[in-house]
């Protein structure tokens, strides 16, 4: 994803790597052998983990972003790192093991357009 920052008369474009997570259809391992998963709507539950245990504006914004998300939602690397810390410190082992499985690479619109033009 490309973000544009306006600084005076100059625009700077910064490439950021975004990933998506669908908390509305979150897959959670149901056994230690990781052969079976349960698909759950984890938006409220995971948002509450951050809301009840986090502090600061960034945690509040992330909790609300997860709570209000619909389908696959883009998150920055910093947000993913923060979520993993909360999953590790306040979630159960199944949630922690399942987290990485639910993180997907975001499709970049610019890359899609380039492929369509070729």
Hunting for tokens 């669908």 — which residue is that?
22
pTM listed for this prediction: 0.76
Task: Using DSSP, state whether 108 is helix, strand or coil.
Answer: coil
Residue 3: CB atoms within 10 A of its CB come to 10
Counting as low any pLDDT under 50, the low residues of the chain are 110-118
Whole-number pLDDT of residue 17: 80
What mean pLDDT, rounded, does the chain reach? 85
| Whole-number pLDDT of residue 113 | 33
Dihedral through CA 84, CA 92, CA 56, CA 101, nearest 10? 30
């Amino acid at each position: 994803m490309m973000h544009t920052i306006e600084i005076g008369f100059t625009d700077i474009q910064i490439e950021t790597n975004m990933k998506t997570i669908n908390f509305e259809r979150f897959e959670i391992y149901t056994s230690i052998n990781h052969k079976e998963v349960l698909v759950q709507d984890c938006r409220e539950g995971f948002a509450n983990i951050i809301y009840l245990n986090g502090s600061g504006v960034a945690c509040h914004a992330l909790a609300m972003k997860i709570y209000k998300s619909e389908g696959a939602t883009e998150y920055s690397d910093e947000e993913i790192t923060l979520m993993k810390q909360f999953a590790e410190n306040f979630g159960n082992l199944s949630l922690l093991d399942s987290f990485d499985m639910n993180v997907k690479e975001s499709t970049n619109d610019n890359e899609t357009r380039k492929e369509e033009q070729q």
